[in-house]
Amino acid sequence: MVMSEKIKPGEPPETAATSSSEPVPDWLTSRLRRMFSDVMDEPVPDEFKALLKQLEDKERGS
């Protein structure tokens, strides 16, 4: 689990450090990732290909 402690210059230091020192348990992270990758693995519906094609054609035309 990435836990960067970088603080942007000019920003107040981290105040929630007490409860976020152990950010998210592994079981939760892996379930979130799986939920996400399950959708990513789905084929992209044709309507999107049509939309992109349409935009591409528009670009070529102008």
Partner 1 sequence: MTGHDHFLEQVTALLPALRAFGRSLCGDPARADDLVQDTVLKAWTNREQFQSGSNLKAWLFTILRNCYYSELRHRKFEIEDPDGVCAGQVAIAPDHDAKLHLRDLSRALQQLPVDQREALILVCATGLSYEEAADVCQVAVGTIKSRIARARDRLVELLGDDAALVAGPPVVGALADVDGATEPRSGGL
Minimum CB distance to partner 1, residue 31 (Å): 5
**Residue 46 touches partner 1, criterion: CB under 8 A:** no
Minimum CB distance to partner 1, residue 54 (Å): 10
CA distance readout (Å), 25 to 22, 32, 50:
7, 11, 41
- CA-CA distance, 14 to 47, in Å (whole number)? 44
Q: Which residues lie near partner 1 (CB under 8 A)? A: 2, 4, 6-8, 11-17, 19-20, 23-25, 27-29, 31-42, 44-45, 47-48, 51-52, 55-56, 59-60
